[in-house]
Amino acid sequence: MIEDDYTEDVLYLPVEKQHEIARIRKLGEILTEEYLDAKNGSDEEVHTVVRLHFKTAHRNRKDLEPIVNRYRDFKPDLVESESTE
């Protein structure tokens, strides 16, 4: 396979969006997946988001475009996890 046949993306998605996360897993190749605590704007409540770094074959890209376009600009304020000693 030629590297030009793929597009790489990094998206943050709320973990509640399991259908969209599953769609990315089905049509793309997950390179890294991290679950992180984050705040969204002025909301003081901490939510969990998933950071997906994935690549997609161009033949599947059109099926993922709606998800990529919806979350491309979603950049939550990450909260550093508290270590317990």
Cα separation of the two ends of the chain: 46
Tens-place pLDDT, residues 1-30: 455 789 999 999 999 999 999 999 999 999
Instruction: For domain 3-78, give the CATH number.
Output: 3.30.70
Please, what is the average pLDDT of the chain? 88
Query: Could you tell me the residue ranges of all domains in the chain?
Result: 3-78
| Global pTM value | 0.82
Please give the order of strands across the beta sheet that includes 6-14: 6-14, 47-57, 28-39, 77-78
